[in-house]
Amino acid sequence: MLPQGGTVYAPVVIVAPTETASFAISGLPAGVNQSYKESESNPSGLLTLTASTATRVGAYMPTITVGSSGQTASVVFTLVITAPGKADVIPRAAIL
């Protein structure tokens, strides 16, 4: 869960045949910004999602897509935007 005006951090585990992978996320609601910081030693990393105070409360189904060595994999997850003060963590997602 991500409260309006809040930030959550989610570790993303990527098992890939190489040390590099592409990372993309789609389907985020308006007002939610994301950044992904890859680990220095492997393609896994930390996804940061930040919602503005104007982001609409509700459930959304964004998709994370990763690619490595000509292979791609995707995972859909549920992102719940809540009113301020009702934060929770986003579960870890293992992909590829």
pTM: 0.82
Residue 93: predicted pLDDT: 53
Higher pLDDT, 51 or 43: 51
Say whether pLDDT at 88 is over 60. Answer: no
Q: Are 61 and 37 in contact (CB under 8 A)?
A: no
Residue 54: predicted pLDDT: 95
Domain ranges of the chain: 2-95
Q: Are 66 and 73 in contact (CB under 8 A)?
A: yes
Measured between alpha carbons, how far is 74 from 15 in angstroms, rounded to an integer?
13
Domain 2-95 has CATH 3.30.1280.10: no
Residue 90: predicted pLDDT: 52
Say whether pLDDT at 87 is over 80. Answer: no
Say whether pLDDT at 58 is over 90. Answer: yes
